[in-house]
Structure 1
Amino acid sequence: MKKILAAAVVNALMCSTALAVEVTYASGITGDGVRVFQELVKPWEEETGNKAVLVPMPSSTTDQFGQYRLWLAAGNKDIDLYQTDVIWAPQLADHFVDLSEVATDIAEQNFPSIIESQTVDGKLVALPLFTDAPALFYRKDLLEKHGEDVPETWEELTETAKRIQDAERAEGNKELWGYVWQANAYEGLTCNALELIKSYGGGQIVEPDGSISVNNEKAAAALNLAATWPGNISPEGVLAYKEEEARGVWQTGKAVFMRNWPYAYHLGNGEDSEVAGKFSVAPLPSGEKGGSSAATLGGWNVAVSKYSERQEAAISLATYLAGPEAQKRRALLASNLPTLEALYDDAEIAEQQPIIPQWKEVFMQAVPRPSAPTKSAYNEVSSKFWNAVHNTLSGKATAEENLEILELDLEEMKGSGW
């Protein structure tokens, strides 16, 4: 009898193992993203017996998109789920499973605009995981020391950053810079420059109705101001900075101000941070006193590949990660902004991550990139824009000259059909 029972147990374990599914999840990794992912999927793995395997991608969204597009065009069966940027839905929709029916409850709990951004031709092609909007990080200890206020305009930021930088260097703090941000030639520069231009009243590059608006005096004024920053209040190397390079300078205590996303708040208060407890955040500056701030709408979603041979398990993981339990865990672990409206009133989140309810103001002022009017051409439009901006920042021509050339390029693209 004992042998029979032992054999039955072994058989049951073998059957259980055979039924377990291993799903692959491709995602860009920024900061401590690997640890956060592992913590997030634990409850799902324990509940289902399945395994979630992370396929780490570069943190650059430009590099991620290029690799995703290659895999999907080839009908790659090895990747089951893709973590996608908010702007990619129109370009990759044909490769993803429609999640409308399986995620009805989740969709109803989300901010409507976020669900709309992931819906293409009536199909919900990705589920929101967290939203994003950048803010101005500032050293409250240094502002207090030098009797400065949080700048409300970009001109004030330029002046305040320079005054504190010069005063600190005179006292021996030779490595301090006034402002670090993302000025490399990639999607992050599109975000930074869009915020500047929009806050100056210079439009959104391409407007919702498809009109090309980028070549105007206000847009040029915003970019010409930014061109004064490298080598002045920002290191020359900022022209090669992405999010992590900026955070590295900031977190070692070598910057007064930083433009970055919410993930940097959690890490900036970590045990290994030189600025823990010394900083706060505010909405990004405006173009003029009393004007409006503009923060690029970001955010990440999860999509299920239609080429996956493990779609049932993949959909299970996607709906779990997009649901209330996982979104709350992510907010507590990584200070990521939930897409579920109710979580902004969650007492535990407010206590452990007080920045999240405060960030709602930043998020509500967010401006979308022009992916909707440009559709499948968005990445080429963005590439031409960030290159024009980078040329301006590098001193290769004035903003007026670069924006005039950009307008001609975009008109030609539009004439050929977005």
Structure 2
Amino acid sequence: MRVHHLAALPLAWMLFCPPATAAGDSLTVLCASSGTEQALCHHAVDGWSRMTGTTVRVLPLPSDWGAVLPLYRQFLSARTSVADVLVLDGTWIGALSPLLLDIPPAAEDARTLPHPFTVGKRHVALAWYRDIGLLFYRRDLLEHYGLAVPTRWDDLQRTAAAIQDAQRRAGNAAMWGYVWQGRTGESLVCNALEWFGANGDALVSTDGTVHADTPAMRRGLGRAAGWVGTISPPGVLTYDEEAARGAFQSGHAVFMRNWVYAWALLNDPQSPVAGKVGVATLPRADGAGDAPDHAPDNATGVDGTVYLGIARNSAHPIQALSLLRYLTSEEVERHQAVAGAYIPARMTLLDDPSIMGAIPILRTLRPALDSPILRPIAATGIDYPRVSWIAANQFQQALRGVTTPADALGALASALGGLSQLGRWDSANRPTLPSSTIQDHTP
């Protein structure tokens, strides 16, 4: 899940008013507005276009990804195709799955992690690149005070408080211990799931059972509420990824939770903390992995994989599938990793020397990439945006002290229980969506 903050041209105008000179058999691909991602997307698309002789138009998405899902719903529901291949944040796929074309399975799918995104029994998206929640820390400060990188949330709390207090005594009054994403939204849901751990506390399990109020979740949410105003600034409840990065990169925080994209920006030669930053997997929830009767809980970061899919109303499904397979090929993933530090989904590439050289933190990331925390997107399907909205609001209420963690999680469990009945999330009763395959579109 990259953070996209560069301006984009008005997408709706370009989609619904395509150039008059566009060829009738051309394809349209939607990529993010990030300059790096646009460049990589153009490079890959140009390679496929040269091989096939098919014209491809690449358009940028709006810079505010919150505006993309409604826009996608609008043009994917149209009778005529306005786009063929589109980049998909993982959180959108459940909601958009009825509007996406089925992707025929291939042997190479087993070599990627995550595997093709599946809703019901339909493969509707392929992983394009990986992302994962990480802990960034001031390596110089931990070394100065002789403290270890925390591996549990309680350890982080103690270490953050110790360094924050020592720095303030030394005259750095602006120092805080830990910054993260507390604004009501998807990023807060990611943070909360990381506080809870991966021992069955993922809000909704794969079989549709609601797990939204457990002792581990109450402990995690209560602990985080105690951070606000102590080791985290009160304003953290308005922070998104960029606000947290700004505080950390300016030298005003010891620890930060963020995505992989932050690494390059923090180490830019102009960054005040360049060369002073370390990265680690996020701390584990207390008790995770301690019981002798189950395997250690290695899952600490939420998966932020970005996918590619095909519009169900595409006029060129066979060509779109060919392009999709090329964009997720080993050749393209290798180039994206070396040129743009995008983590490949193909597991064999994670050990490639050239890629490890381009992404030096990859060795540190591997434990988190191998067993990420997954949001209940596939389990809740088209209801996931509402699930996320309800969860983020209840978490925010508890963090602000408006209600207790127990009451917030109880209300969340009740709300999700009602949604689960309406949405029939349980796998035994979940309705099967009508599939639309490449063969259905073959002349």
Q: Does the TM-score normalized on the shorter chain lie above 0.5?
A: yes
Query: Cα gap change, 1:236/1:18 in structure 2, threshold over 3 Å: closer, same or farther?
Result: closer
SS of match in other structure, 2:423: coil
AA aligned to 1:71 is F
| Aligned partner letter, 2:161 | K
* One-letter code aligned to 1:107: D
Offset of residue 351 of structure 1: 1.9
Aligned to 2:180: 181
Unaligned runs of 5+ in 2: 1-20, 290-296, 425-443
Paired residue type of 2:74: L
Under a length normalisation based on structure 2, what TM-score does the superposition of the two structures give?
Answer: 0.81
Larger radius of gyration: 1
Alignment CA distance shift 1:31-1:165 (3 Å): farther
Q: 1:198-223: CA deviations, max 9, x gaps?
A: 26x57111222322222122211110
Q: 1:139 to 1:39 in 2, by over 3 A?
A: farther
Structure richer in helix, relative to its length: 1
Q: Whole-Å Cα distance in 1 between the matches of residues 26 and 164 of structure 2?
A: 52
Aligned CA distance change for structure 1 residues 289 and 119 (closer, same or farther; 3 Å):
closer
Q: Which residue of 2 aligns with 1:198?
A: 197
- For 1:208, the equivalent position in structure 2 comes to 206
Retained in 2: the 8 A contact 1:191–1:296?
yes
1:156: which partner in 2?
Answer: 155
Q: Which residue is 2:138 aligned to?
A: 139
Q: Give the corresponding residue for 1:8.
A: none
**Relative to 1, partners in 2 of residues 1:18 and 1:402: Cα closer, same or farther, differing over 3 Å?**
closer
Are 1:97 and 2:101 matched, yes or no? Answer: yes
Q: Which TM-score applies when normalising by structure 1? A: 0.85
Gap change, CA 1:146 and 1:46, over 3 Å in 2: farther
SS at match of 1:296: coil
Following superposition, the deviation at residue 82 of structure 1 comes to 1.7
Q: Secondary structure at the match of 2:226?
A: coil
Superposed, 1:81-120 pairs within 5 Å as 81-100=85-104, 104=106, 106-111=108-113, 114-116=114-116, 118-120=117-119
Which stretch has the larger CA shift, 400-409 or 74-83?
Answer: 74-83
Residue 391 (1) aligns with residue 397 (2) = yes
Is the contact between residue 186 and residue 392 of structure 2 (CA under 8 Å) also seen in structure 1?
Answer: yes
- 1: CA distance, partners of 2:49 / 2:266: 30
1:355-382 superposed Cα distances (whole Å, 9 cap, x missing partner): 2233121112212111233222222122
Measure, in 2, the Cα distance between the counterparts of 1:31 and 1:233.
Answer: 35
Change (3 A) 1:19 1:38: closer
Distance 2:172 2:300 in 1: 32
1: CA distance, partners of 2:79 / 2:202? 34
Is 1:240 the counterpart of 2:238? The answer is yes
Question: For residues 194 and 407 of structure 2, what CA distance do their matches in structure 1 show?
Answer: 20
Answer yes or no: is the 8 Å Cα contact 2:136–2:279 preserved in 1: yes
- Residue type of the alignment partner of 1:78: V
Distance 1:377 1:262 in 2: 28
Sort the Cα spacing of 1:42 and 1:166 in 2 relative to 1 into closer, same or farther, 3 A: farther
Out of 63, 68, 72, which is 2:72 matched to?
68
Cα deviation 1:108-142 (Å, max 9, x = unaligned):
4323xx224x1345443222101222111111111
Residue in structure 2 matching 1:364, options 363, 370, 374: 370
Q: 1:274-285, aligned counterparts within 5 Å?
A: 274-285=272-283
| Aligned residue in 2 for 1:6 | none
| Distance change (3 Å), C-alpha of 1:121 and 1:388 | closer
Match of 1:307 among 308, 313, 337: 313
Give the number of aligned pairs. 395
- Contact 1:21–1:313 (8 Å) recurs in 2: no
1:60-96 CA distance string (max 9 Å, x none) = 4x44323322332334633332211234434322322
**Is the alpha carbon distance of 1:216 and 1:308 closer, same or farther for their aligned partners in structure 2, counting shifts above 3 Å?**
same
Superposed CA RMSD: 2.7
